[in-house]
Structure 1
Amino acid sequence: MIRLLLIPIITLCLFSCDTAEDKKGRFFLKGNAKIQENDFPGAIKYYNEALALDETYAEAYFNRGISYYKTANYEKAISDFTQAINNRPLYLEAYFQRGMAHLDNGENYKALADAKAMIKSSPEIANGYFLQGLAQEALKNHQEALLSFEMAIELDDNNPDLYVNRATIYFYMHRYEEAKSDLEKAKALNAQEPNIYNLESMIAFEDKAYQKALDAIEKAIELDARQPFFYNNRGLYLLFLGKLEEGIEDINFSLKQNSRNLYALRNKGIYYVLVSEKEQAIQYLGEVVEKDPSIPMAAHYFEKANMLN
């Protein structure tokens, strides 16, 4: 009889001896599983539980920050990445992700500061220069961005993202052949990278090869159907192919995902010029020209809008 009682007694001990460390670890792993399932609200719930048990848990702050970032809640993501850094000062991944969140939140100088902190701490790691290049690109310091991406490639020449981003800078500098060369290098490393085909489409559009541009962006969307700027680009190409209603549908879809995208607002303005809706065209293109007159085609189509009857 005594031997039979050992099983429930041992079981009770196993549960009662469960430590806070064990519990927070289980919540953390459950959160990670939810991230793998793309259930970011579910992940946040489990990381909340882990952090309730240990408010210094840097990895839980980091992963909760990733979850907030994936749901475009950039302020909360930045706060969590900051907490991760506060609890683990040399947490380079947290600096990188905070920098990315700053970029998406329009805080380009803060992203640049995070990049510089990474480079100061670990100058031998490519990601610091990568983030610095992205920040300089956002600030339209193209020569500085190019130098940053070149340094990153020197440190990690097997990363296709670096070639795509350097190609993007070449594109902005109208150095299209060098951009194409970098895209071929990226494709050799990872032909499934959708941004390769997005940039190929942009180069084709500059060459007025609109069908080629459309074919390339279709490939990008096939590989990643979640990127709003792919739909914005496809919308633009459809406008120039005379498929106006299909084009505006894509542009509106893109704006629903990111209503602040000036390129999408420009494209919507172009649509209204093409359908001779003067008031709407002036409204959208006027906003773009006021906020960033350097955006290609914006001033040209704003002038066209003002000339409509």
Structure 2
Amino acid sequence: MTKNELGIQAMQEGKFEEAAKYFTEAIDENPREPVFYVNFGNLLAALNENERAIRFYEKAIELNETTATAYYGLGTVYYNQNNVQKAKDYFEKAMKHGLKHGDLFFMLGMCLNHLDQPRLALPYFQRAVELNEDDIEAMFQYGLSLAQSGLMEEAKKQFQLVIQLDENHSDAYYNLGVAYAYEEKTEKAHEMFEKALNIQPDHLLAGHAKKLIEEAKKQQP
């Protein structure tokens, strides 16, 4: 195995000091290889050494401005620092330079959601789900974006798929309840809110929504 491969393996095993040693040796042996700087940046980001991580990603881009994974790394760091607009810009650059994996599309969708653009987020979440049909979080966020865009029938399908994969996903039950309430299917909505509360008794939104339905029932003639 190369020093770079040994570094990746050590990082995956949680041996961060060992990983740093291998990545440093890989860079010393070939200081013009941008991938080595990206991997060291990933290690530093995992250790929350964000400013150092940024410098390593920027060095990779300086060596080769088409290094898509460096842009993705920068996007992730800025997203974790709540600089969503800057994160989005870097994720878009990663996509422009050929990165096509599901995590990138998911993160672009998350950025657009945070920027109150759920309709623009839709194709990115959809693509993330297409690339990984078992990605529960991407599926759930896709459902939220569909609901926020007023596409309730499609949103319900996504929340139902989430529940099929994770029957204890309280937020999926809650949002399914909201979708049913939007369609004025109050009995079904009440059932979903109850299921959310059975899983998570302190789910405040589900508790409040369930109470509203019960109070409305009492006022009916």
Normalised by the size of structure 1, how large is the TM-score?
0.48
Q: 1:70 to 1:54 in 2, by over 3 A?
A: same
The answer on 1:61 being equivalent to 2:75 is no
**How many angstroms apart in 2 are the aligned matches of 1:15 and 1:44?**
16
- CA displacement, residues 94-124 of structure 1 (integer Å, 9 cap, x when unaligned): 11110111110111111012133445x5374
Pick one of 84, 97, 106 that aligns with 2:107. Answer: 97
Task: Give the conservation status (yes or no) of the 8 Å contact 1:112–1:131.
Answer: no
**1:20 corresponds to which residue?**
32
Q: Residue 168 of structure 1 aligns to which amino acid in structure 2?
A: N
Say if 2:112 and 2:121, in contact at 8 Å, map to a contact too: yes
Counterpart in the other structure of 1:143: 153
The aligned counterpart of 1:106 is 116
Partner of 2:193: 179
> 145-154 or 108-117: which moved more?
145-154
Structure 2 equivalent of residue 205 of structure 1: 208
TM-score by length of 2: 0.65
Identity %: 21
Is 1:122 matched with 2:122? Answer: no
5+ residue gaps, structure 1: 1-13, 188-195, 210-309
- What is the 5 A alignment of 1:1-309? 17-21=29-33, 24-118=34-128, 122=131, 124-126=133-135, 129-154=139-164, 157-158=165-166, 163-171=170-178, 173=181, 175-182=189-196, 184=198, 197=202, 200-206=203-209
| 1:20 partner SS | coil
Contact 2:75 2:90 in 1 (8 A): yes
Encode CA deviations 1:218-253: one digit per residue, 9 max, x unaligned: xxxxxxxxxxxxxxxxxxxxxxxxxxxxxxxxxxxx
Alignment partners' CA distance in 2, 1:184 and 1:97: 31
Q: CA deviation at 1:57?
A: 1.9
Match of 1:217 in 2: none
Q: What do you get for the CA RMSD once the two structures are aligned?
A: 3.2
Report if aligned partners of 1:136, 1:144 keep a CA contact under 8 Å in 2: yes
Query: Quick check: 1:30–1:43 contact (8 Å CA) kept in 2?
Result: yes
Contact 1:163 1:182 survives alignment (8 Å): yes
Q: Based on CA coordinates, which of the two structures has the bigger radius of gyration?
A: 1
Aligned counterparts of 1:163 and 1:202: Cα–Cα separation in 2: 11
**Aligned amino acid, residue 202 of structure 1:** L
How many Å apart are 1:182 and its aligned residue?
Answer: 4.2
Total equivalences in the alignment: 179
